[in-house]
Amino acid sequence: MRSSRSAGKQCELVGEQIVRVACYAGYKGDERPVRLYFREKALEIVETEDRWYAPGATFFRVLIEGGERYILRHEEAQDVWSLIGYRATA
């Protein structure tokens, strides 16, 4: 695990940890994440700040209650969610 300091906040690349995610299902299934289950906690997602696409996967940068930001990857064909990084609050 690597970490770096930037403007008083800790950034960590966590590798690719498989996580459970509850999603809002609008016009398509698993449209956007609403809750992340990580380190034995349920974390409420208050905002999806960014979303981008790669072949076979969708990435989300989300803001959690308390100010932490997480980057999630959803591999659609396998329906697998991974946590690939986060930025902790100061």
* pLDDT tens for each residue of 15-38: 678 899 999 988 777 789 999 998
Say what the pTM is: 0.79
The structural domains of the chain, with segments of one domain joined by +, span: 2-87
Say if residues 86 and 69 touch (Cβ distance below 8 Å).
Answer: yes
d(CA 26, CA 15): 30
Residues 6+ apart with CB under 8 A from 56: 75, 76, 77
Residue 84: exposure state from Cβ atoms within 10 A (0-12, 13-18, ≥19): middle
pLDDT (tens digit, 9 = 90+) per residue, 60-76?
999 999 899 999 999 98
Q: Is the pLDDT confidence value at 5 over 70?
A: no
Tokens of 18: 């498989």
